[in-house]
Amino acid sequence: MSTVLVLMEDGDPSLQALTLARTFGEPRTVRMAAVEPFAPNAVAAVLEMAADELGAVAVFAAGSDRGNDVMARLAARTDLPLAANCIAATPGDPVALTRQRWGGSLLEEALLRSPRPLITVAPHTIAAIDRGAPPEVDVAQLLARVDPKDLVVRVSEHVAPPGGGVSLAEAKVVVSGGRGVGSKEGFAIIEELALLLDAHVGCSRVVTSAGWRPHSDQVGQTGTKISPDLYIACGISGATQHMAGCKGAKRILAINADAEAPIMSLADYSVVGDLKEIVPAISAEIRKSR
Amino acid sequence: MRVLVCVKRVPFTGGKMVLNAESTALETKHLGFTISPHEECGVEEAVRLIESAGGESVVLTLGPQAAVEQLRDAMALGIDRAIHLQTDGREADGQATAAAITEAIRSDEAASGPFDLIFFGSESADAGGYQVGIRVAYALDRPCVTGLKGLKVEGSTVRCEQDAGGGRDAYVVPLPAVVTVKEGLNLPRYPSVPGRMRAARKPVVTSTPIRAEARLEMVRLAVPGGPGRKTELLGRGADAAPAVVEMMRKAGVL
């Protein structure tokens, strides 16, 4: 059976990529951490050498920041096409695949014509099947052959996150505000509810563009993708840009004055009315119940 | 200092994805257009760099005739001039896009000198290919750092920061360099009326590159299906609070 090469990072997205890769052949893996400190051009060089030595019929990686970065470099150095953020792919010539557009709000069916298909797999779109860890490529002798030029781009320092608290991406509960909050000061009631729920404050793109909240609070296609147990969207219309960031939530509660806003039919629960009355009333009810 | 920022014209999608009759593109009859979000931050950063260091800023797009609107938008924010690689509106894949842009950069640099920095967005809002900036960097043999949330030119190098593991990874690479940026790098300014008037008079050089055959060929688009969520109305106004708290209790978040 033919060999496929898979670039592995820690975490589930790489296991999902591995699962799709197995439908193309017998997998062998290279670890993203093979080059420390991280140097994306060097990882791409190692992948190219490993793929050539193994005669790999395809190369896969997770559609993570680093996965897409390194695979694009491999594509550039080998002058091959790259299909990023795929959710399905069928071996053949051409490869028939389905990939995400608009952060997953739209799907594209495409044909990939390449002697060596390069594919990244959109995180959390296919179920990982655990069939044990495939053999790793021995990278020591490949590393020795990396051109020093490919080490020019490398991580020189890691700046730790500002201390305390869970990140927006990992929060169990997120309370978000949108245009309907009306102002920077309007977020006081959102913050109050978030504090009571031990939740992270989030917001829509309109809010960060207006400078009411920092971009690090933005939930959306160009902000943070979240998957909390409960997402509370206050005064947010539910544009596709926003839903691309919060569709991973287990439950969505939408609070909006406009009963016809898109989010009011995309959520699990809805409350129609003025968030400036409803949000403080929920906070008061939580206090009362304690 | 000379900087180039490459942008893409994309529609404002609003609340719902509606496809054309052939399912090959979004139905954009009723939609406005914008510079893809990450690239808006590239434009802002380019303008700030030239404001502080002096020199020239250039914006480039590959797109239909109407994409001149996005070039004018960038020039209204302070970019000096524009390069328009005009297409018939059909999409080019990542390789073809990068090849056309690389050729345009080479030709501009032959006439006006090298760009110290070239900005791209991390990925376009629509196609999301994650590759054009990197391909151009390889073709020009320049270092490339992706997904920047922080950037500082320090003499003949540029310090680049990207989100990683909750914190930031920093890279320091020599100029000239190519960077791809993400929204959040800065807060883009709004265009002023005088800025818009000046932009109308700034030069746009137009050419029509040959469209290479797509090796990643889009066949059709589809709006993701599935059952979606069933919405339960918990109430109206402040009176809904007890029902909301009950729901929270059942969800185990209280």
Q: Tell whether omega for the bond before B176 is within 30 degrees of 0, i.e. cis.
A: yes
Instruction: State the Cα–Cα distance between residues A278 and A268, nearest whole angstrom.
Output: 17
Q: What is the pTM of this model?
A: 0.96
Does the structure show a pLDDT above 80 at A65? yes
Shortest Cα distance, chain B CAs vs residue A137, angstroms: 26
In-domain check, residue A144: yes
Assess whether A193 and A115 both reside in one domain. no
Domain boundary among A151, A186, A201: A151
| Average per-residue pLDDT for chain A | 96
Assess whether A11 and A117 both reside in one domain. yes
**B168 inside 8 A of chain A by CB:** yes
Q: What is the pLDDT of residue B50?
A: 98
**Tens digits of per-residue pLDDT, A216-275?**
999 999 999 999 999 999 999 999 999 999 999 999 999 999 999 999 999 999 999 999
In-domain check, residue A32: yes
In-domain check, residue A162: no
Chain B's closest residue to A275, CA to CA, is: B237
CA-closest candidate to residue B66, choices B206, B210, B196, B214: B206
Domain boundary among A121, A151, A181: A151
Does the structure show a pLDDT above 80 at B152? yes
Assess whether A216 and A129 both reside in one domain. no
Poorest-confidence range of A74-83, B1-10, B22-31, B70-79? B22-31
Assess whether A100 and A201 both reside in one domain. no
In-domain check, residue A160: no
Classify B38 in phi/psi space as left (phi over 0), alpha (psi -120 to 50) or beta: alpha
In-domain check, residue A94: yes
Task: Give the number of domains in chain A.
Answer: 2
Q: How confident is the model at residue B208 (pLDDT cuts 50, 70, 90)?
A: very high
| Average per-residue pLDDT for chain B | 96
Assess whether A93 and A32 both reside in one domain. yes
**Tens digits of per-residue pLDDT, A138-157?**
999 999 999 999 999 999 99
Assess whether A43 and A140 both reside in one domain. yes
Mean pLDDT across A50-65: 98
Does the structure show a pLDDT above 70 at B221? yes
Assess whether A199 and A276 both reside in one domain. yes
Shortest Cα distance, chain A CAs vs residue B238, angstroms: 4
Chain B 184-243, CB below 8 Å of chain A: which residues?
184, 187-188, 215-224, 228-242
In-domain check, residue A159: no
Looking at chain A, the whole-number percentage of residues with pLDDT higher than 90 is 96
Domain boundary among A126, A151, A176: A151
The amino acid sitting at B161 is E
Shortest Cα distance, chain B CAs vs residue A55, angstroms: 21
Does the structure show a pLDDT above 90 at B15? no
Assess whether A41 and A145 both reside in one domain. yes
Chain A's closest residue to B167, CA to CA, is: A161
**B252 inside 8 A of chain A by CB:** yes
Contact B229 A268 (CB under 8 A): yes
ipTM: 0.96
Pairing of strands B167-174, A155-159: antiparallel
Q: Considering only the beta carbons, identify the residue of B168, B220, B229 that sits closest to A266.
A: B229
The amino acid sitting at A28 is R
Task: Give the number of A-B residue pairs with CB atoms closer than 8 Å.
Answer: 260
Instruction: State the Cα–Cα distance between residues B246 and B218, nearest whole angstrom.
Output: 47
Alpha helix stretches (DSSP H) within A144-214? 188-196, 205-209
Q: What is the pLDDT of residue A161?
A: 80
Chain B's closest residue to A280, CA to CA, is: B238
Shortest Cα distance, chain A CAs vs residue B214, angstroms: 9
In-domain check, residue A235: yes
Q: What is the pLDDT of residue B13?
A: 87
Assess whether A204 and A279 both reside in one domain. yes
**Tens digits of per-residue pLDDT, B129-149?**
999 999 999 999 999 999 999
Q: How confident is the model at residue B211 (pLDDT cuts 50, 70, 90)?
A: confident
Assess whether A223 and A270 both reside in one domain. yes
Q: What is the pLDDT of residue B145?
A: 98
Q: What is the pLDDT of residue A26?
A: 98
Helix (H, G, I), strand (E, B) or coil at B63: strand
The CATH number given to whatever domain includes residue A87 is: 3.40.50.620
**B169 inside 8 A of chain A by CB:** yes
Pairing of strands A58-62, A3-8: parallel
Does the structure show a pLDDT above 80 at A162? no
Instruction: State the Cα–Cα distance between residues B81 and B68, nearest whole angstrom.
Output: 12
Q: What is the domain extent for residue A100? A: 3-151
Q: How confident is the model at residue A36 (pLDDT cuts 50, 70, 90)?
A: very high
Q: How confident is the model at residue A164 (pLDDT cuts 50, 70, 90)?
A: low
In-domain check, residue A29: yes
Task: Map B150-199 to HEC letters.
Answer: EEEEECCEEEEEEEECCEEEEEEEECCEEEEECCCCCCCCCCCHHHHHHH
Instruction: State the Cα–Cα distance between residues A224 and A201, nearest whole angstrom.
Output: 12
The CATH number given to whatever domain includes residue A225 is: 3.40.50.1220
Q: With 0-12 CB in 10 A as exposed, 13-18 as middle and 19+ as buried, what is B117?
A: buried
